Amino acid sequence: MKVEVKTLDAAGSGEVELNDAVFGVEPRADILHRVVTWQLANRRGMARAARERSDVARTGKKFGRQKGGGTARHGDRRAPIFIGGGKAHGPRARLFTLSLNKKVRALGLKMALSAKAQGGQLVIVDNLDVAEGKTRTLVEKLGKLGFGKTALVIDGDALNVSFAHASSNLPGLNLIPAVGANVYDIMRHETLVLTRAAVEKLEGRFNG
């Protein structure tokens, strides 16, 4: 699959041959759903446990007479009805992490990249150099490229410093390195933007 490479000025900069094994896979909703569910589940923090009656550091001595005191019968101050007592039926410690086969995770990323390529939502740029890292300059360039309301920009090993500075306060535009490419971020953005370096890294990730 050949895709035109553009500059940030929307000018042509040649073509790049995309590997069909990475960008030409037929997307499947069930695979994408499994990978996104796995990602979001693993982002959840652990549920913390509450201290129950046996966990509270209070005296276990019976503090009143069984009868004749004019009050209810109590054995100790750990009971949930007392201030400082243990929680009754409190939450237990729980992990929400899921496991997913590496082959399914890799297939999901290929399908996410392929979905953007086949849907016309993939843009390949030569580089991300922005003069002096100015946001105003970058906004003018993005208007010519037509990235849409939201765009995920993936660079190579290291992020372009000038582009990172210029795009840091632009809503809807996110920049990540190639090693951080994931299904959830790719699918939730309208446009996927890859640099030449990002294409090489992503294809090398699956081929090597």
Which domain CATH number covers 168?
A: 3.40.1370.10
Beta bridge partners of 110: none
Residues 8 and 88 in one domain: no
Beta bridge partners of 16: 3
Residue 134 has pLDDT above 70, yes or no: yes
- Residue 147: its pLDDT value, please? 81
Q: Which residue has the tokens 């309208």?
A: 190
Average pLDDT over residues 100-105: 95
- Residue 183: its pLDDT value, please? 96
- Residue 208: its pLDDT value, please? 59
Residues 35 and 6 in one domain: yes
Residues 137 and 58 in one domain: no
Residues 76 and 130 in one domain: no
Cα distance between residue 68 and residue 48, in whole Å: 41
More confident residue, 1 or 198: 198
Q: What is the pLDDT of residues 43-100, one digit of tens each?
A: 988 889 999 999 999 888 888 888 998 988 888 889 999 988 999 999 999 998 999 9
Residues 54 and 143 in one domain: no
Residues 60 and 116 in one domain: no
Residues 6 and 74 in one domain: no
Residue 3 has pLDDT above 80, yes or no: yes
User: Considering 94, 129, 162, which residue would you say is the last residue of a domain?
Assistant: 94
Residues 77 and 153 in one domain: no
What is the count of structural domains for the chain?
Answer: 2
Residues 84 and 132 in one domain: no
Q: What is the 3-state secondary structure (H, E, C) of 71-90?
A: CCCCCCCCCCCCCCCCCCCC
Residues 39 and 137 in one domain: yes
Residues 6 and 80 in one domain: no
**0.85 exceeded by pTM:** no
Residues 145 and 167 in one domain: yes
Q: What is the pLDDT of residues 140-198, one digit of tens each?
A: 888 788 788 899 999 988 898 999 999 998 998 999 999 999 999 999 999 999 999 99
State how far the alpha carbon of 139 is from the alpha carbons of 8, 33, 170, 171, 183, in Å. Answer: 10, 33, 9, 11, 26
Structural domain of residue 156, as residue ranges?
A: 2-45+100-207
